[in-house]
Each structure stands twice: as structure tokens, then as C-alpha cells.
Structure 1
Amino acid sequence: MVHVTHKTHPDIVKRLKRAEGHLRNVIGMMEADRPCMEVVQQLHAVERAVAAAKKALVHDHIDHCLAHAVEDEGRAPQLAIDEFKEITKYL
């Protein structure tokens, strides 16, 4: 399988870096004994940011890689279907 960087990848990296910053803040909050409600709210934001990045990456893969795999006459359609089934378990 060939790895391809798509135009959405830089945006996904930005999302993940933002989530990384939020996670560092959460760690700092824990170390500073901040109230649990504040920490939980920030953890929720981290989870949402990572989930959004993952969803964007999966959708990007489906839109580009799997669509091209189906169009590629040299590749069996069943392989693309199997890959689609495999990646959807991460949604």
C-alpha cells in the first residue's frame, strides 16, 4: 500500500497539535490541583479534538484512497471493500 499525503493532512496535524496543547494544559491543571470540574471540561475538549481529527482522517481516506482503489482496475474491488470495513471500525 502506498502512503499518500492529502491536502487535508496539514489541517489534521493542526488539530492534533491544538489537542496536544490542551492535553499539556490538563496535565498542568492536575499538577496544580485545579478543581475536578475544570479538569474534566478540558479533558472533554481534548477528546473532542482528537475524535474530530480521527474522523477527518478516516473520511479523507475513504474519499481519496478507497475511491481510487475502486476505480483502479488493477485492484480487486473486494480489497477496497475489506479496507473500508476495517477503517470504519475506528469511527
Structure 2
Amino acid sequence: MIKPHPHATHPALIARLKRADGHLRAVIEMIEAGKPCVEIAQQMQAVENAVANAKRALIHDHIDHCLDADQSPSDREELKAISRYL
């Protein structure tokens, strides 16, 4: 079983993802309301960027955390595994 792995930056990451979730819900409402496709695409790009930035922040924080800790072989494997998502 994998143990919880909280980081000090997780609360900020959660807030960022909740904002992205709100924007995504707004995009859905725009589609349902028949808004112009250009406006919808623009907002979808903003949502995509927000999620990508959140993912990048999570991965960078995790890498920093792993590099600060005494690394075990499993830590190195985890570092390799998460780097695939960069």
C-alpha cells in the first residue's frame, strides 16, 4: 500500500485545480448556451493551460522533495516514474 505523500504546496495546488474546475464548468455552460466556438476554444485553452501548470507545479515540487530527502532505491524509481509526465 502506498502511504500518503503530502507536500506543503498541496493546499495551493488544490486551490489552483478548483479554479480550473470552475473554469471548466463555465466552458460547459458556454457550450450549452450556444456561445461562439472561438470564445469556447479560448476558454478551453485557458483550462488546459491551468491544468498543465498545476501538473508541472506538482511534479517540480515532488522532485524537489525527493532530492531533499535521503533517497532510497524506491525514491529513485518514483522519481523516474513521475518524470514521464513532464
TM range (shorter): 0.7 to 0.9
Taking structure 2 as the reference length, what is the TM-score of the superposition?
Answer: 0.88
- 1:86 corresponds in structure 2 to 81
Q: Gaps spanning 5+ residues in structure 2: where? A: none
- 1:47 corresponds in structure 2 to 48
The whole-number CA distance in structure 2 between the counterparts of 1:31 and 1:69 is: 51
Percent identical residues: 52
The whole-number CA distance in structure 1 between the counterparts of 2:83 and 2:75 is: 12
Greater C-alpha radius of gyration: 1
The whole-number CA distance in structure 2 between the counterparts of 1:69 and 1:56 is: 22
Q: Gaps spanning 5+ residues in structure 1: where? A: none
How well do the aligned residues superpose, as a CA RMSD in angstroms? 1.3
Paired residue total: 84
4+ runs of 1 displaced by more than 4 Å? Answer: none
TM-superposition CA deviations, 1:16-70 (whole Å, max 9, x none): 0000000000000000010000000000000011111111111111111x22142
- 1:33 corresponds in structure 2 to 34
Instruction: Map 1:1-91 onto structure 2 (within 5 A).
Output: 1-64=2-65, 66-67=66-67, 68-70=69-71, 75-76=72-73, 79-91=74-86
Q: Which has the higher contact order (CA 8 A, sep 6+)?
A: 2
